[in-house]
Amino acid sequence: MLVTFVIKVSKLCNLRCSYCYEYPELANPVRMSFEQIAKMFEHLGSYYRATAPGAECRFVWHGGEPLLHEPSYYREIFAEQRRCFAGMRAVNWVQTNLTMLDDERIALLKSEFDGVGVSLDVFGDLRLNVAGRPSQSRVLVNMARLKAAGITHGCITVLTKRNLARIEQIFRFYEKIGNSFRILPLFQGAFEQQHLGYEVTGREVLTALCSVADLWFASNAILHVAPVTDQIRELLRSRAEGYEPVYYDRRTQESVVLVNTNGDLYGQADAYDTGRSWGNIFHSSMAEILESPARQVSVLEAEARMASACLRCRYFGTCNGFPVAENRRRYEDTIHEGRVECVVERGLFQHLERRLTEAEHQFGDGIWQRLASRLGDAEAQAQI
């Protein structure tokens, strides 16, 4: 069991990315205090120790820009985390724009963090500093510093209208430097018309992901490209003998929880919606929060979306339904009369299945083992 907590430790940032959903708060210096974070750890540690002691609690430190804060801040936090989660598994990742990197922060990333994600769009010039200048050249220098220090890192590229036509160049960039990456389609902004001219439709996203899939199949690189390789892995596992379908069940398990700077908790589909917070983790126990009326409404709405879009889908069980359950405000062209149509995930599964069938006809049954090996999926290799 894996539970991911996205911790909005502060909204303060040294960039002003045009599409940032935190844009109005990027100059706000307020951050979580040590006492608040300690109380959060106390509540979460006691809850999961009692209900799921074998769970992995993954903390993704987010912002704003989390590396603006001094390394001693995180070292003190993680010492308290080790105390509250003693005997349990708690891991820490950071999502950074990587514009601020010195020897002390390199040491912090190497010794205290289990994963590093770097925000890099490659094309489009929407990730700007406070003076309105592109930040990418500095990020590339700092990525080289991470590599020289032996710090493995992945990247997130936000897909917008500005880089949509450069999808092959984006893939080739990461292929050349050997970095795994995630394509993250642009989603709802902080205010009306913030994304005017940058927005992408669900069908444009699907076309882009299918192109990435074709490039991945044609490449020999050992490269994970989410969500494409995630779905390939799911298709491989669905073909394994004894495979059992997997269904997302928010009623019994929350897998992704957003913790706002003030301690308010949200599901992924409800982030920052006034009145939709489940409760405050600085002041209430996790058990109380999970039983709150706001969370019960959120769960019912997620189940209704899954019933509407997933029950009719032949990939349900291979896909657990999470994308529909946790995304109620995705693309305008995929919502009809209030009903979510799963254009992107279902369409990508269809495309991948066609490509895998073609590969099987060309290379025989051995293609499944080869693909599992390329994905580095020991579990899939053992089962297929």
Helix (H, G, I), strand (E, B) or coil at 50: helix
pLDDT at 187: 74
Considering the chain, what percentage of its residues have pLDDT values greater than 70? 91
Q: Place 42 in a pLDDT band, splitting at 50, 70 and 90.
A: very high
Predicted TM-score of the model (pTM): 0.90
pLDDT at 332 over 60: no
pLDDT score for 383? 35
- Residue 380 is predicted with a pLDDT of 37
Q: Tell me: the pLDDT tens digits for 98-121? A: 999 999 999 999 999 999 999 999
Q: How far is CA 354 from CA 45, 137, 188, 320, in A?
A: 45, 39, 32, 20
**Average pLDDT for 219-232:** 92
DSSP secondary structure of 70-113 = -HHHHHHHHHHHHHHTTTSEEEEEEEE------HHHHHHHHHH-
d(CA 185, CA 378): 29
Residues making up the chain, counted from first to last: 384
CA distances from 282 to 43, 265, 267 (A): 8, 10, 17
What count of other Cβ atoms lies within 10 Å of the Cβ of residue 64?
25
**Which residue shows structure tokens 């019994």?**
252
Give the chain's domains with CATH numbers: 2-200 (3.20.20.70)
Beta bridge partners, 65, equal none
How many secondary structure helices (H) and strands (E) does the chain include?
A: 13, 12
Which distant-in-sequence residues (6+ apart) come within 8 Å of 70 by Cβ?
none
CA 133 – CA 140 distance, rounded (Å): 15
What are 15's strand-pairing partners?
129
Contact 322, 184 (CB under 8 A): no
Helix (H, G, I), strand (E, B) or coil at 166: helix
- Rounded Cα distance between 200 and 190, Å, is 16
Q: Do residues 23 and 191 make contact, with C-beta atoms less than 8 angstroms apart?
A: yes
Q: Cα(232)–Cα(238) distance, rounded to whole angstroms?
A: 10
Burial 157-195 (b: 16+ CB within 10 A, else e): bbbbbbbbebbeebbebbbeeebbbbbbbbbebeeeebb
86 or 186, which is more confident? 86
- Average pLDDT, whole number, for the chain? 89
